[in-house]
Structures are given as structure tokens and as C-alpha cells.
Structure 1
Amino acid sequence: MKGIARGNEEVQLARNKIGKPYVWGGGDCNGPTKEGQPKAGFDCSGLNEHVTQYNDYRKWGGTSYSYNDAQLGDMFYYSHNSGIGHGAALALLEHRAHVTIISSSEQRVKSVVEDVGNPNLHGKVGNVREEESFIELLRSLAPIDHLGTPLCSTASTLKDSCSIIRGPIAEADFDECKHLFGVKFWGAAICGKAAAKYDIISSGGSLTLTSGTGAMNPGKTASIGGALNAGLFTMTQGLALELAEKRIRVNCVVPGIVSTELWDKMGTIGKGDEQAQKLDAMGKKLPVGFCATGEHIAEAYLYAVRADYATGSLITIDGGGVLK
């Protein structure tokens, strides 16, 4: 996986040393193997030779707990060529997690799994807007250590659905608005319900939602999209309290401007070179001086998965955009 930090060999070696001995956030290489090998987790072969399983014996609320899987039931709907979900999945694979992606498009699932070509990446077909069948799918994947909720929809009407994030309310198509809410907002709620009712997430695991900085400063043309993202702020904090008794952390990644395929779908800043130039210009106005890619935002998801002292957190990663 290429990227600013990941392209540096010394940084990569350091990350490998940090990542291998842990199951997303802590633990020593001294745990006995359960019956056989785990169905998901780190590839322990060749590491310390005598170690066959990593266990986590941290304490939360005075009670010891452990888990051996490192599976992320990844709800992001994305293209294998770009996107926040794609960056998060690759970053987790880089840290030897077993990742499961779910999409309503069988073709997309097959394409992503084949093109990435990592044996730790698996795909399932499911529609988050169909509550009963989607929860059954999640239950079939349980126990899941780290679950991420939907970003957006890849329906044929994606252009209209995503345009509600930025567009005058006078021109809003509320049927399209309801579709996007059904995926991003209610999809997150369905994942929370499954975690609360059916214990699909392991004790000590996490649920990560995705919002956007439009919730903080929506502007006059993003009242609906801003409200959608703001609702996820409240859901994050409420679920963090509700799932705490199950020792499940809940956090929310809040990205700003990101160069992804959604810009092509929306068509608001052109395509090709024109789009690249406009994104570059937007990025130069940020304190960091550049526009993020999915790989940059992936760091926030790694933090959400591994930072076991973080729950109810709104993890803003926007290049300093909210400071303007």
C-alpha cells in the first residue's frame, strides 16, 4: 500500500513491529492457542517462532477480557480504485487483520476481492437497508472484533443521493434524501442494534461510524447533509454509553475534503484534470496544504480500532479545515 508514511521503509518496519504483537491495541505474545488456529486474526507464523496466538488481557471496568480474532466486518461501500472505505480496508490488511467487506453489489464485492488479491480479504453481499436480512448476515459473521458502518450508497442514483450533501434545499429530492439516510444513518443504527441485541461484536471490540465535517459547519447549501452527519455525532455518543456494559467502544471518524470517486459521481467540480486541479486548490487552502486521499483518512480508522481508551470520540481528520 503506497502513501506518504507507508512509502517510507523505516516507518513501515516500525509499524510492523508495533502492529504484530497486538490484537488492535494491546496484549502480550504469551497467550495459549485455543482449539486449532483462529478463524481470523494475525498471521503469527514466523514471529518469535514459539508464539502461535496473541491474547489480550487488558482490563475494562475491573474485568479481564480477551479476544483472538482481528476481523473487521467492513460496511463501507466503495470502489477498489479509491475511497475512504478502500483505504481503511487496505490499512487493516496491512496490519494483518482479516477483513470482510459487505456491499449490495455482488459484482463490486467480487471485483474488490479479486483485485486486492489478499487472502485475508473476504466479501459478502448484503443490503443494509434491509434490516432483517442484514442483521442475519452480521450474525453469521460473528464474533466480529471491529465493525465499521456504511459511508454511502452505490445505487444507480448515487449522483442524486450524494448531491444532498451539498445542494440547495429547494432542489432537494426527498426520496433520494431518504435513501441516503437509509444507508448512512439507519445503516449505522442497524449495526448498533445488532451489537446490542445479538452480541455480534466481541467484548473489547469496537464499532466505528463515519460522519463528516459538514455537521460542524454545513453552510447554506448543506442543511440536509449537515443534519445527517450531525445525527451520527449524537448516535455515536449514545451508543458509546449503551454498549459500554458490553465493553464495546463506539467512535466516529469525521473526515473533511477527501479525493474519492464520489466527486466523479456528483460532477460538481468536473472530472479528470479539472477535478484534480480543483481538489488541489481546495487542499492548498487548508492548514496542512493538501487534499487527503482515502489512505490519509484510513489512519483515523486504525486509531478507532486500536485506541482502547477512546469511546464516544468524534475523530476529526480534515487537514485543519474546521479551523478556517
Structure 2
Amino acid sequence: MTTTEAPIPVRSPLPQGLAGQTAVILGGSSGIGLAAGAMLASLGARVVLNGRDEARLDAAVERARAAGPDGDVRGVAGDVADDDAIEEVFKRAGTVDHVLVTAGGLGGAGPITEVTRDAARGAFEARLWSVLSTVRTAVPAMAAGGSFTLTSGGLVTRPRPGLAVPVGVVGGIETLTKALAVELAPRRLRVNTVRYGMVDTPLARGGIGAGADEAGDRAFAEAGLQAPLGRWGTADEAASAVLFLMANPYMTGEILTMDGGQTL
């Protein structure tokens, strides 16, 4: 483990301080990852987006570039479940300051009496192992002051029947956050997680059967009326929490809840 006696660098904790820095976003072709990429590009950051679907990734790169015409945005296609693909992402990214991991599914749902070993292993590899593989690959390319931001969900604190495997895996992300924050502190690297509630993303809409058309907008808005603030969050609102954690050099080992009071 590389260590440094120098403290973590002091810099502006405002998002504007991210200008000129490089951020890699795994799962950046839609939803929160894409929103974060566009925001970072608008601030003048260099952004590397990753996603499995090359066509959708190309569209995401164009959208992020439009948000920050003076920024450097590029895409590297690949599946985070593939170690070689992750290595390729960071090889092409070069020196990296920040990493956001939003990729990885939530498989393994079902009654515990029907859960199979293969389903549980698949859920672990898609979410937890992809984080571990990303971190071990990225760390050598990161200088002091860099950060990792992971994602979890409100079901960790309010689980539902039939979700033991996915909730257990996502809970592992939060435990891993603290363990990695301690392990990487001597390198002056930070690790945090955002615990999200319901956010307007293609994945969330798909979960309630709402499409991207006007009918889907109405269905999603109607479903959000049950939330404490009368609606669910936007991808931009969710992404703002990521930028806060990346920018603030005194945040590490934290689980930041961003759910509009949904867990209440």
C-alpha cells in the first residue's frame, strides 16, 4: 500500500473546483450517471463515460458534450462485470481524479426459499465484485485527493419481502464504503456512497411500467404523489449529491442519503 505523510490537499469544496479534473463514470450512458457526466462537463471537467450499449453510450457522450462544449467527454464501451473491460476503461482514461460507479443490476429477487446459488452469485458479481474490481484497477491511476463515489438504495433501511439477496448485496456496498475509506486513507483517496430513494431514471420507470412518453410522465408523476415532497427526485438532483462528494475533500466513509424524505 502506497502511503503519504502529506495530508489530503486543501481545495475548494464547491463543484466549480472540479474544473480540469478527470472523472470516470461507470454506468454513464443513462440516468444518474449521465446526469453527473453532463454536470461535470458543464463545469469544465474531463469526463469518461462507460456503458454496455455502444449506441446508447454514443448518444450519452453527445448529450454530455452539449452541456459543456468546452469540456472533454469521451465514451468507452464495456461491461463492468468484465474485468478486462474495466481495465480498458482506465487504460484509456489515463490519470483519474474521481470515479463514480452506478452500474450493476439488482438481480436475485425472489422468496428466500427459492433463491439459487447461481442467482445470488450473479447478484454479487454484478454489484459488489464490479465495485471491488473497479477500485483495485483505478487506484494505481489516482493521485492524492481523488475519490470514489458508489451508490446504494433506501431498501437497505426499509427492506421488502422477496428482496433478501439484492438488499444484502446493496447493504454490502455501504459496508464496503467504510472499509475502503479506511484502507485507502493512507493514499489520501476518499470513498463515499449515495443512498438513493426513487429517482426518475429509465431503470426506475421500467420498474413501475412507465415509459419515456407523455403517458409515462403522467404515470411516474402520479406514483410520486405518495412521496413526502409530492414527487420523486430528478436525475439532476440525484447527480448533484455525487458532485458534492467529489468536490469536498473532507468527505470520506460517508453514506449520504438522497431520497426526499422517502425513508421517513
Class of the TM-score when normalised by the shorter of the 2 chains: 0.7 to 0.9
1:246 to 184, 187, 196: 187
User: Contact (CA 8 Å) 2:152, 2:171: kept in 1 or not?
Assistant: yes
**Shift in Å, 1:108:** 2.4
User: Contact (CA 8 Å) 1:150, 1:188: kept in 2 or not?
Assistant: no
Indicate yes or no: 2:230 matched with 1:279. no
Percent identity between matched residues is: 27
User: Contact (CA 8 Å) 1:211, 1:229: kept in 2 or not?
Assistant: yes
2:29 corresponding residue in structure 1: 78
**Shift in Å, 1:273:** 5.6
- Cα deviation code 1:91-142 (max 9, x no counterpart): 2122221110012332222222234444521111222222244225314423
1:112 to 27, 35, 60: 60
Q: Distance in 2 between matches of 1:136 and 1:78?
A: 17
Q: Distance in 2 between matches of 1:190 and 1:115?
A: 28
- The change in CA–CA distance for 1:238 and 1:232 in structure 2 (over 3 A counts) is same
**Shift in Å, 1:151:** 2.7
Q: Distance in 2 between matches of 1:262 and 1:240?
A: 29
Q: Distance in 1 between matches of 2:107 and 2:223?
A: 18
Counterpart mapping for 1:1-324 below 5 A: 19-20=15-16, 22=17, 24=18, 42=19, 69-79=20-30, 83-118=31-66, 119-152=71-104, 162=106, 164=108, 167-169=110-112, 175=118, 178-196=121-139, 199-266=140-207, 268-271=208-211, 275-323=216-264
1:65 corresponding residue in structure 2: none
Instruction: Tell me the TM-score normalised to structure 2 length.
Output: 0.82
Question: Which amino acid in the other structure matches residue 122 of structure 1?
Answer: R
Question: Which amino acid in the other structure matches residue 126 of structure 1?
Answer: G
CA RMSD of aligned residues (A): 2.5
User: In structure 2, the residue corresponding to 1:252 is in which secondary structure?
Assistant: strand
- The change in CA–CA distance for 1:276 and 1:204 in structure 2 (over 3 A counts) is same
Greater Cα offset, 174-183 or 307-316: 174-183
User: Contact (CA 8 Å) 1:147, 1:201: kept in 2 or not?
Assistant: no
Q: Distance in 2 between matches of 1:265 and 1:171?
A: 24
Q: Distance in 1 between matches of 2:127 and 2:240?
A: 21
**Shift in Å, 1:278:** 4.5
Greater Cα offset, 227-236 or 284-293: 284-293
Question: Which amino acid in the other structure matches residue 150 of structure 2?
Answer: L
Q: Distance in 1 between matches of 2:122 and 2:57?
A: 21
User: In structure 2, the residue corresponding to 1:100 is in which secondary structure?
Assistant: strand
User: In structure 2, the residue corresponding to 1:257 is in which secondary structure?
Assistant: coil
User: Contact (CA 8 Å) 2:41, 2:47: kept in 1 or not?
Assistant: yes
**Shift in Å, 1:256:** 0.4
Which protein has the bigger helix share?
2
Q: Distance in 1 between matches of 2:219 and 2:121?
A: 30
User: Contact (CA 8 Å) 2:80, 2:104: kept in 1 or not?
Assistant: no
Paired residues in the alignment total 246
- Cα deviation code 1:210-247 (max 9, x no counterpart): 11111111121322221111000011000000000110
1:55 corresponding residue in structure 2: none
Which consecutive residues of structure 2, in runs of 5 or more, have no partner in the other structure? 1-13
- The change in CA–CA distance for 1:313 and 1:219 in structure 2 (over 3 A counts) is same
